[in-house]
Structure 1
């Protein structure tokens, strides 16, 4: 289902104006990775998937989305798995670590209005997953429409910029696990904030140019 849906969306967006502008995709490694992205709505999930196409991403999603039988089946079919955003416990971390060890990549939205209540725990969760799996985190930032219907506007473009990966496998072996997690969190926060400022500026300049 994920492959079919992402392929259809990829074709649609290619046909109607290439609205997804991807910056620094070369920074995304070939090996399994965790990608994190700033998050204020639902558009980012779609745009991140398109920017990384044809790679399939397994998304961490709030458990409430899986409460109904039909929604549970649907979200599992598009590679999403449930998490308690306010209290992500050890059992929550096992799923993404297992996916990464199987050669799959994982997507997490640890900040933004949608995840505001659980932002801090999810940032720690993302860092913990990276350390436990010994896989890199690729930070990304999004700027663009906040509503799905706005994605198809003539001048509506989305920008996603990727940053340098944070690879815990390169950390000193003298560091304790807790120290590695803290270091990943610090770097993730720093790089995400920088990326968001940069991509917001790029989007603003593009918007000004389109209005001339």
Structure 2
């Protein structure tokens, strides 16, 4: 029964480790891409600001507004990158560390179970010997070793069960937290960009095409 429990724990932890590590890897790729895009955006708003200075008043205002939006996008994107690294990636990294510690405990429990199994076989072997072939204290020593092995195995079993439940709780709490973080961070970023874009649209619509197309 305990061996089946350990096998189930081992399989579950292995899958969790792989899946969470994959999430960390792919999210890091996304974050790095966002950071690299921010560097390109910076060059865009610099170019737009420069162009705005050379244009007619209303067009210049619209271009300048667009430049400001790109500046906001660059600033907010970098802030988003920082928050996701601190509040999304870091908690998942900690979760993987906890998971690996649990895997180590599970490995110790497996060793203890094997020692117990070995002690049981040895005791049974001695019991099956002819009485005259049993050495002095051989049976008592084997029984004593089995008892010690059983106690250790039971302790390891209990430790693994407690640690597994603690990990499951930590996993649920962590995943809930990082999911909410991702939603909040992305929502705040896109809202700030949207607010700025709305202003750009208003200035674009205010461009005085008829007046500013005239030769001065």
Give me the TM-score of the superposition, normalised by structure 2: 0.25
For the pair shown, the structure with the greater C-alpha radius of gyration is 2
More helix by share: 2
Higher relative contact order (CA 8 A, sep 6+): 2
